[in-house]
Chains A and B, each alone.
Chain A
Amino acid sequence: MSELSSALANLEEEKVARIIKQELGTGKDSMGVLTELRKGMDEVGQRYKKGEYFLSELIVSGEIFKDAMKVLEPTLKKDGGGPATKVVIGTVKGDIHNIGKDIVATLLKGVGFEVYDLGIDVPVKAFVDKVVETKATIVGMSGLLTPSFESMKETVDALKEAGLRNKVKVIIGGGVVTELVQRHTGADAFTDDAMEGVEIIKKWSAKSN
């Protein structure tokens, strides 16, 4: 692992900022820098899986990554980059909890997905419209309360009615989500763990590419 990847994995904020500045200053291409950052984020995920890191480390790494992207983004546009798997994500209609959804969105961006974050209290139609517009192949719905289950189900049904259900994989997430809820809503997967959600989405993406 490079020095930059290690610094991110070790949550060394200042060191990450310093190395990025140095590398861009010496002409390193920004796509290469981004690749190193993503390796660092992957390592954070590995440490979480092993029980060495917790939610707080995921959030801190996400913040470091976001700060790094602010520096990199203007130059990335010039360099371009390969096509990424598109994910539409949001907290479902009626539910205004954002923290879990935000963490997953940041982590997905960190490992290279193109994320369309619709925010909180997202109407059923907004999910469907975004999938049509972006041709996303993955939909992530978040909800922290039992009444959210109906909103999740309505969204899955609406994707079906729009003829999109066989074109997208749907994952639901939140503290009270269980297998029973997955069956009720018709989603393809469920999770109550942000990093597990990212892993499921990574597997789906790997299969489809």
Chain B
Amino acid sequence: MNFEERLRTAINLEVPDRTPVVPLIYQFALKHKGRPIVPLAGGNPADWHKIIQAIEDTFDDLGGYDAIYAAGVTWPISSWRINSAPGNKYVSPGERGIQKDFSVQYEEREVMTLEDYDKIANVGWNEFLREYIPRVSGISIEQLDTVEKTLLNIYKKDAEKWRVRGIPVMSGALLISCEMTLSLVRSLPKFMLDIHRHRDRVKAALEAMTPDFIQNTFTDVKESGIPFVTFSLERGSGAYFNLKTFEELFFPELKKQVEAFAREGIISVLHMDTDWTLNLPYLKELPRGMCICELDSTSDIFKAKEILKNHMCIMGDVPASLLSLGNKEEVIAYCERLIDVVGKDGGYILSTGCECPPDARFENVVAMIDTAREHPVPRSR
């Protein structure tokens, strides 16, 4: 099987010749190649080609693997551009006296008001941004559009490099879920209080966001030519909210979005940081074979296999702490267990639990990739 076939076989819930392995190595690659750690689309744009080179060189230093999670430094960001507005920003290592070998961090502040829920509900997401973006950032939506178009074109060029090498790219668009987006710009505690005090207003805003989120994502996927959308879902989980809220407010929007993409043959990569164990049964309502349930090691991935086998491909979840503090033997033992249990009968992609930490031991990441190459996929018969 070539890389594309192996990846597609796993997504289609069939048994590949071996388990595909796809670590998320952005910050790890920068550290490995001695580059400053900057956020996606951050730092000096003149240096972005060096970042891409660092990712490509690290990919080769690791001996290669089955797909690249995101093609480059300028991930398509139409649907979440609100998060890059001033007031909410990324803080890079070296800034504000933070150690240079630290990770990129997101600084969360309350930049959206309670009244903004009503505005979103009344006019929809894209129209709301026309008024909101200038208010919080001082730039017009047209200026932002121009920047984003440039970023998308750079992404397309980066994706082309991987295509030439025969390496599939697993993201043609990035969609931060409606609830995640609102919680980031309201701040998490405020968003929780809003749901407690003004549940109907929040629900109306969430419902009004979905059609534009779908349309924006279609635009990005069409432009990038990569039929995969990455959902950033962290804050909808049972680690944060009760199932009633998930059922009434969050899941209906996720379902509408995934179904719309599936109808167009687009695979939804559900990047599910934090503990989603309680929410897993709901994922059976999403279209079979059209999603990837990507877990970060806080959810019970073995339970996920029990619940989602023959319905949804599972991806994950070598823990960050194991990669940075564990030894090679411990990494191999954990990866073999993943392949034996979660990988049984296919439908599984071995990966880091969320992003590979910058301080991961190189030999541990190699051990993870080698285990996927060498350890056979068990079959029931």
Contact = CB atoms under 8 A, between A and B. Distances in A.
Interface of A: 11, 13, 53-57, 59-60, 63, 93-97, 99, 102, 121, 145-147, 149, 175-178, 180-181, 184, 192
Contact of A54 (B197, B240, B323, B324): B240
Contact of B325 (A53, A93, A175, A180): A180
Contacts of B281: none
A145 B238 CA distance: 21
Contacts of A149: 321, 324-325
Contacts of A55: 192, 239-241
A147 B102 contact: yes
Contacts of A94: 93, 98-99, 102
B189 A99 contact: yes
Contact of A178 (B99, B103, B239, B319): B319
Interface of A is mostly: loop
B298 A192 contact: yes
A145 B242 contact: no
A147 to B, nearest CB: 5
Interface centre among A13, A57, A97, A176 (most CB of B within 10 A): A176
Contact of A145 (B273, B274, B322, B357): B357
Interface residues of B, number: 40
Given A55-B239, A96-B98, A145-B103, A60 B325 contact: no
Contacts of A93: 99
Contacts of A97: 105
B240 A184 contact: no
Contacts of B321: 146, 149, 176-178, 180-181
B16 interface: no
23 contacts: A54-B238, A54-B241, A55-B192, A56-B240, A56-B242, A59-B192, A60-B193, A94-B98, A94-B99, A97-B105, A99-B108, A145-B105, A145-B357, A146-B323, A146-B324, A147-B103, A149-B321, A149-B324, A176-B320, A176-B321, A178-B322, A181-B321, A184-B325
Contacts of B340: none
A121 B241 contact: no
Contacts of A146: 103, 320-321, 323-325, 357-360
B102 to A, nearest CB: 5
A191 to B, nearest CB: 12
B283 interface: no
Contacts of B238: 54
A176 B91 contact: no
B121 interface: no
Given A99-B189, A180-B321, A56 B326 contact: no
B189 A95 contact: no
A185 to B, nearest CB: 10
Nearest to B107: A96
Contacts of B193: 59-60, 63
B195 interface: yes
Interface of B: 91, 93, 96-99, 101-103, 105, 107-108, 188-189, 192-193, 195-197, 238-242, 245, 273-274, 298, 319-326, 357-360
A102 B188 CA distance: 12
A96 B89 CA distance: 12
Contacts of A96: 91, 96, 98, 105, 107
A94 to B, nearest CB: 5
Contacts of B242: 53-54, 56-57
Nearest to B242: A54
Contacts of B323: 146
Given A55-B192, A99-B108, A180-B325, 19 more contacts: A11-B196, A56-B240, A56-B241, A56-B242, A59-B188, A63-B189, A94-B98, A96-B91, A96-B96, A96-B98, A97-B105, A99-B189, A121-B98, A146-B321, A146-B357, A146-B359, A147-B101, A147-B357, A180-B321
A63 B196 CA distance: 11
A19 B107 CA distance: 37
B322 to A, nearest CB: 7
A83 B97 CA distance: 37
A22 B298 CA distance: 45
A57 B91 CA distance: 29
Contacts of B196: 11, 56, 60
Contacts of B239: 54-55
A56 B192 CA distance: 6
A147 B105 contact: no
